[in-house]
Amino acid sequence: MTTIDQTIVRAPGIRAGARGTQGRIALALTLSCTIGAGGIAYADTGSPASDAPAIPSIPAAPADSNAPVAVAVHGQPEPASSEAPHGPASHHFHWAAQDDHLPEGAINFGLLQLALGGFNLAGEIRYRRWWFEYSHGMELTLNDASSLTMTSTERQQGLHVYLPYTTGFGVGVTLLDELWLGVEFKDHKYEVNAPGGPTVSYNTYSIGPVLGYKLFIARGLFLNAYLRYWPTVATTLDGGKVTLQGTNGPVVHDAHDWGFFANLAVGYAFDL
């Protein structure tokens, strides 16, 4: 029973003697106070609009659909990664070493070998920070770029130095971004003769470090810059020397040593 109903029921309890003007005034005051109290109680219980279920807010979609999205794990938000895209598809320089979670393959062609009238093909595989390469060059004539590939003694003796092949493999690790350091094992085949004299063939073997940087130009297309040191650690020549006969007389030839040299290669990388 509401307050108003209770008031109406109790209204007959007003003394019967309270008739006339005073009784009517008392009854009016009683009803006014009761109605006012009922309005306050109704307001406290909330308006009909407040009884409607609240509409949950919907977060705005990110402006950039490619932006990283935070994912909640066990009720805790997962921080979005700010790392820039990295790899053959889209390369951006950063100090962290390139870490390929999927194997990456590549082929490249040496530019120095083209200048020597020959050809070189190298294939490499990368996984995580490790790098493995096999390279094979052929038909290289060092006289075609003698200032870069021959010693001053070989040039003064007028020697002709030809390599039917130079082959070998390397292994290394990425240091930062696309900069890597490795070691290479090489077998070089030489055919050398003094002016007008017979040709002498021999092999040398090199083990040395290589420092390289792979600069991506567009997608998988890259330019590889190398700095190598290939010291001769063994040779098929007795004592590492041979006497060459020529029209200008005999000359002593020391087994060729590559030493320090630089090279460039153009290639293409792809995910395996």
Q: Indicate the average pLDDT of the chain.
A: 79
Length of the chain (residues): 272
User: What share of the chain in percent tops pLDDT 90?
Assistant: 60
Select the more confidently predicted residue: 107 or 101.
Answer: 107
d(CA 121, CA 126): 17
Instruction: Tell me if 31 is assigned to some domain.
Output: no
CB 267 within 8 A of CB 120: no
3-class secondary structure per residue, 208-221:
EEEEEEEEEEECCE
Instruction: Tell me if 155 is assigned to some domain.
Output: yes
- Kindly report, residue by residue over 203-243, the tens digit of the pLDDT: 999 999 999 999 999 989 999 999 999 999 999 999 999 99
pLDDT at site 161: 98
pTM over 0.75: no
Instruction: Tell me if 85 is assigned to some domain.
Output: no
Give me the residue label for tokens 């997608």: 219
Number of domains observed in the structure of the chain:
1
Instruction: Tell me if 124 is assigned to some domain.
Output: yes
Instruction: Tell me if 160 is assigned to some domain.
Output: yes
Instruction: Tell me if 50 is assigned to some domain.
Output: no
Domain that holds residue 142: 105-271
- Kindly report, residue by residue over 137-187, the tens digit of the pLDDT: 999 999 999 999 999 999 999 999 999 999 999 999 999 989 999 999 999
Instruction: Tell me if 181 is assigned to some domain.
Output: yes
Strand-pairing partners, residue 232, are 206
CATH code (residue 133): 2.40.160
User: What share of the chain in percent tops pLDDT 70?
Assistant: 63
| 94-106: average pLDDT | 77
pLDDT at site 272: 86
E strands of the chain, at which residues? 72-73, 76-77, 100-110, 119-128, 130-141, 160-176, 179-193, 200-218, 221-230, 232-235, 241-244, 251-254, 259-271
Whether residue 14 is predicted with pLDDT greater than 50 in this model: the reply is no
CB 114 within 8 A of CB 272: no
- Kindly report, residue by residue over 104-149, the tens digit of the pLDDT: 999 999 999 999 999 999 999 999 999 999 999 999 999 999 999 9
Instruction: Tell me if 183 is assigned to some domain.
Output: yes
